Amino acid sequence: MKQDVDPGPAGINPSSRRNAVMALVATGFLAGCASQPPERGAARRSRTQPPPADRYALTPSHPDRFTASSAGSGRGISVRREAVVANAMLLINTPYKWGGNTPEGGFDCSGLVHYVFGRVMGSGHTLPRTTAAWADATTPIKDAQMEPGDLVFFNTSGRRFSHMGILIGDRVFVHAPSSGGRVHTTSLSNPYFSRRYLGARRVFSA
């Protein structure tokens, strides 16, 4: 796998209906595993409305670390986790592209995460672009604490944090794996990835 690059944030212009996302989640997190790439119009109709920028705050002791403010606690965080999963599942079968960060241009692993969280969190944040930057900006958690919407990290190239994915539930994650591949789901019990697993980290504090 090639090393992540930092081409800069993709242009993100979210507009959506929450009910469509909730319906997608309700059908099951793994429903889109074998699906074809969503049509552009269908994807637009299923996207979620971004939360207000003031629903999130940066941890004072770590200015690059994301956490939920008190205004964003409770049900709002749960909805956003579901929105992360739904947006990630809509991108199943998108081609891998080194440095890619759009559905039209393809994704690398950190470009996929950047795009999905950018849609859910809105334009109020400058999000990390590389895998290492995401690891530095998020909070390590134990596997027993993992929830959908958390991030999982791997050493696939002899260096720490060389690959990442978005957990969607039951130890399954969505990721953009390698050149010539496509965005798909993989289990943490997969022999290749289980040997290279570094742990999970949390974007949302709840």
Per residue in 150-203, pLDDT (tens digit) is 999 999 999 899 999 999 999 999 999 988 899 999 999 999 999 999 999 999
CATH architecture for the domain at 18-202 = Alpha-Beta Complex (3.90)
**Mean pLDDT for the stretch of residues 26-49:** 32
3-state helix, strand, coil in the chain (%, to 5): 35, 20, 45
Contact between 82 and 167 (Cβ < 8 Å): no
* Catalytic residue set: 109, 163, 175
What are the pLDDT digits (tens) for 106-149? 999 999 999 999 999 987 788 999 999 999 999 999 999 999 99
Q: What tokens does 205 get?
A: 């504090």
Residue 78: its pLDDT value, please?
Answer: 76
**Mean pLDDT for the stretch of residues 12-41:** 34
Which pairs from 110-114 meet CB under 8 Å and 24+ separation?
A: 110/4, 110/134, 110/164, 111/4, 111/7, 111/10, 111/176, 112/88, 112/166, 112/174, 112/175, 112/176, 112/183, 113/151, 113/164, 113/165, 113/166, 114/9, 114/10
| Polymer length of the chain | 206
Indicate the average pLDDT of the chain: 73
